[in-house]
Structure 1
Amino acid sequence: MTGPRTSFRLGYVPGVTPAKWARVWQDRSPGIPLELIQVTAADAVGLVRARELDAALLRLPIDRTGLHAIPLYVETTVVVVPKDHVVTAVEEVSTEDLADELMLHPLDDVLDWKGPPGRLIDDRPATTGAAVELVAAGTGLLVVPQSLARLHHRRDLTYRPLVDAPESGVALCWPEDGTTELTEQFIGIVRGRTVNSSRGPEPAQPSTQPPTQPPTRKSTPKTAQKSGRPRPARSPERRGGQRRRPRR
């Protein structure tokens, strides 16, 4: 009979950076290693289903059958171009601006296109990295999530936001029947929970403290009235004009 797991295996696809969450994990659970395993976008879901990963940070959309997925953030989509390209004269572009451009469409493209923009080159590169090299060679332009443009950065290339292109959402994914205590712990980290709120049913600290301002609104006016000087009653003569002169 095997004992409890002593590590948590987290896969992540290229461009996704789990370092900030790994640092929080290390601070909270220094005795349980977090194994960071880079996987391809095509393999990520299969590795989670096969339980070779406890969870994975991957890009949507995916086939969610038998899986949980928590969307974390959405990336900006950009077009990668040579630094001397006319596109660099503007802050952002649209797919219409690329209508006459030769465009590369790699086989590992992660964007959910109805139809990529521009004039597609028939010979599709195997990977995004290979497509970036072809952009640098002047073969065509490339549309990718911004994190992949940064991952494959070159000094002779730059990028601009593509405002009307599909966006890539990053999610945390794990098996539906594989929600362990360690999985819950990592879910709490990526959702920004505090130490208390991410470690089970223990109530948060503020709920155990007495209220700072007791509900004494009804008794306060009476107390204030008793502590002040009593108001003199107005005599009938003084009502309606207290300084009337007598008739002569």
Structure 2
Amino acid sequence: MSLRLVIFDVDGTLVDSQADILASMQAAFGATGLAVPAREEILAIVGLSLPQAMARLAPKADKTARAEMVEAYKAAYLALRAEKGTPDSSPLYPHVRKVLDQLHAEPDTLLGIATGKSRRGLDKLVDGHDMRPLFVTQQCADDHPSKPHPSMIEAALSETGVEPHRAVMIGDTSYDMDMARSAGILAIGVTWGYHDAERLRDAHLVIDDIRLLPGLLTQIWEQTA
């Protein structure tokens, strides 16, 4: 049996957390008295690790101010999740859980995560949605350089023993697609997240409905067997 690995981004791919992301970014900029960027600017950096995101959104702020913004963002995000609960704070997109369960039930398919979230944030999310048993490898910003560096995918491949040609990355941003290409695996973009189709131009494949994913993966595995 030849194992295959399906790696998922989180925000904008599995869960729609944009309301809390926007509110937390407002708190971050408010902590330093800076003007809050437009919604489109904020969503454009989703997927990057927080320090890199702040550097892009506030390039004129010094390191001390950006560090303060990072901490303010984390505090606001945690407070919102505690107030609303994970299912309401970061709801799963339609049909996501059914597709994850379907893929997890395949004995030769392994599922993984590669996210710009912190370990604490990722733990809260997977436990809040009771998804921890689904993912055999969970890579996050605390342990790796920010996307699009391939480190997260390389670690996931190493942990699972899966060859690159038997792995795919599923994500909604250009950072996910660039990361996958850098790691030598197939990049599948999804259109329901935070980057539009134009920014997903480096994806090998793009889907508009997660229910199409199992069938698409079957075709991919047949071609790479």
TM-score, normalization by structure 1 = 0.27
Q: Which structure has the larger Rg over C-alpha atoms?
A: 1
TM-score, normalization by structure 2 = 0.29
In terms of fraction of residues, the more helix-rich structure is: 2
In terms of fraction of residues, the more strand-rich structure is: 1
